[in-house]
Structure 1
Amino acid sequence: MKKITKDKVELSKIQWTGPTWNPWHGCTKVSAGCKFCYMFRDKERYGQNPTTVLKSKTMFNQPLKWQEPQLIFTCSWSDWFIKDADDWRTEAWKIIKDTPQHTYQILTKRPERILECLPDDWGDGYPNVWIGVSVESDAEKHRIETLSKVPARIRFISAEPLIGELNLEDYAEILSEYFHWIILGGESGNKTGKYLFRECKLEWFTKLIDISRKTNLKVFVKQLGTHLANTLDLKDRHGGNIEEWEESLQIREFPESIERYKVA
């Protein structure tokens, strides 16, 4: 059953956001975290080519129709900074600027393109935009340093799917000065077929929570992932039920108050 607010806004099932907005859809894989991407799975199920990036015919102006404030995960089926969307991004930035009641969470695996793709009036950052980078293991840590050089009101890290140990002790100074939030999550997937899941360890979570406390990052533990759900014999197949976790992991914080928003 679809989850609908009283304003007829369909909320996603992603625990750290409200609705999603996809002004374009389709993407190409750029790192190991992309291997079992749900967008590729769903596009293939619909008989579509997931690597073809298309401007949405029906959803491009969607946020303009939402009067009540929303916390919006932006480009959940693509990447805001993908080169294929260069012709449409200026118009999309204008929608963001024209809807100051909303807050947009822009998560990218292409932080090296951010500076060249910002609007001319970006300044220190639009007040209603959070920018984050996916960092799935030590191999992607360089994205943190790249984002630290981008002006933004809120910067965050998504360590999901967490597919390897992520050691951020050497980034403590950068985290303390430039970052505000970290999302943690194990990979979800199936035991058989094309879209599987990879190992995740509880100690990877605890280490990231520890460094986050030392650097004043807010922490949101989204899910433990299918591997740990199987290992720990959890009822939720993706390990997403917070009540099944040990107390030290039951953390779902935000970088600022979200009381005015509806979230999943």
Structure 2
Amino acid sequence: MHDIWNPWHGCVKCSEGCQHCYMYFLDRLRHRNGTDIFKTKAGFNYPLQKNRNGSYKIQSGELIRVCMTSDFFLEEADGWRAEAWEIMRQRPDVKFFLLTKRPQRVAECLPKDWGDGWENIMFNVTCENQRRADERIPILLDLPFKHKGIMCAPFIGAVSIEKYLAAGQIEQVICGGENYDGARPCDFDWVKTLQAECVTHNITFCFIETGTFFIKDRKRYYIPKKQVQSEMAFKSGMNYKGRPIDWKLTDRFGTQIHKENLYIAHYRKNCGKCGSRLICNGCSDCGRCREHSIY
């Protein structure tokens, strides 16, 4: 996917949300071991890669999700992180989405010149249940980042975060059910409660997918196809666009880039009912939808 940058792969399980990790499941399908942690070769410098015409493959203004098959603050990646930070430093025109289950390690892993944060970095913590929300969000609020968000995925237990949203630092909340081996159910009542708290504080809320097992009105539904999960999440009407995020993106000389010169996401026919559209980086023009006759 064009909006994902995996500078390293593999991880160590550390909490309840890791129990049925999708990365471990997909690695098993490829006869790999998810505990094997390694620096990627072709993909490590992805944000700096260029097209034949000399332009960056990732355009100014795009949002890139980092370490979706690992954790950016994983201890085993300490030897590679400085180089990854340097890559992000060289692309102040690109938005980088960082997500971790290890916020307690973040302060010691920041660049020396970090100050109160970089304008192009959004830092998110995973809060799969109330225990982890109460453990991780206070750390999140104390850390120096310009942009902060919360990810309740896999959503495996009721979560209330209103007392944290009141601090005014959280700009985005995402939630989604669990998939693949051993998926635990996601209850729609949890989603509605979380969404209502975000609406109260005018914070963007995105319900990206139901998960394999979804409970609504005390009925349990089996939804094995992720595309259907996403469509059901969209049709629920839970997605809410709150106050806009004020990104201050610059060129490498520090000059702010005008909005008209930034990437504008575009979508295809099959994107119309996608639960992730509210936070999506848009179509990559890979052509797969034409192959499946849904263009």
TM-score by length of 2: 0.75
Offset at 1:162? Answer: 0.6
Partner of 1:185: 176
Whole-angstrom distance in 2 between the partners of 1:244 and 1:125: 33
Partner of 2:209: 223
Partner of 1:112: 104
Bigger relative contact order, structure 1 or 2 (CA pairs below 8 A, ≥6 apart)? 1
Whole-angstrom distance in 2 between the partners of 1:233 and 1:54: 35
Whichever residue aligns with residue 172 of structure 2, its letter is W
Aligned mate of 1:245, from 224, 235, 255: 235
Could you report, residue by residue, the CA deviation over 1:73-123 in whole angstroms, capped at 9, with x for unpaired residues? Answer: 000011000011111111110000101221100000000001000001111
Offset at 1:129? Answer: 0.6
Closer, same or farther: CA 250–173 of 1 in aligned 2, 3 Å: closer
Deviates further, 207-216 or 101-110: 207-216
Partner of 2:272: none
Could you report, residue by residue, the CA deviation over 1:16-70 in whole angstroms, capped at 9, with x for unpaired residues? Answer: xxx1111111001111111111110122222222112111111111110152132
Deviates further, 152-161 or 233-242: 233-242
Closer, same or farther: CA 203–29 of 1 in aligned 2, 3 Å: same
Deviates further, 128-137 or 46-55: 46-55
Q: Is structure 2 residue 154 aligned with structure 1 residue 161? A: yes
Whole-angstrom distance in 1 between the partners of 2:223 and 2:11: 32
Where structure 2 has 5 or more consecutive residues not aligned to the other structure, the ranges are: 51-55, 248-261, 266-280, 283-295
Aligned mate of 2:185, from 199, 224, 246: 199
Offset at 1:155? Answer: 0.3
User: SS at the partner of 2:97?
Assistant: strand
Q: What value does the CA root-mean-square deviation take over the aligned residues?
A: 2.4
1:5-24 → structure 2 map (5 Å cutoff): 10-11=1-2, 19-24=3-8
Q: Is structure 2 residue 11 aligned with structure 1 residue 27? A: yes
Whole-angstrom distance in 2 between the partners of 1:244 and 1:261: 22
Whichever residue aligns with residue 187 of structure 1, its letter is E
Where structure 1 has 5 or more consecutive residues not aligned to the other structure, the ranges are: 1-9, 12-18, 190-194
Closer, same or farther: CA 261–93 of 1 in aligned 2, 3 Å: farther
Whole-angstrom distance in 1 between the partners of 2:264 and 2:160: 33
User: SS at the partner of 2:98?
Assistant: strand
Offset at 1:188? Answer: 2.1
Partner of 2:263: 260
User: SS at the partner of 2:156?
Assistant: coil
Whole-angstrom distance in 2 between the partners of 1:218 and 1:27: 29
Instruction: Give structure 1 regions of 4+ aligned residues with deviation exceeding 4 angstroms.
Output: 232-238, 252-255
Q: Is structure 2 residue 37 aligned with structure 1 residue 53? A: yes
Offset at 1:216? Answer: 2.7
Offset at 1:243? Answer: 7.5
Offset at 1:172? Answer: 4.1
- In 2, are the aligned partners of 1:131 and 1:154 still within 8 Å (CA)? yes
User: SS at the partner of 1:208?
Assistant: helix
Aligned mate of 1:62, from 27, 46, 56: 46
Whole-angstrom distance in 1 between the partners of 2:224 and 2:183: 17
TM-score by length of 1: 0.83
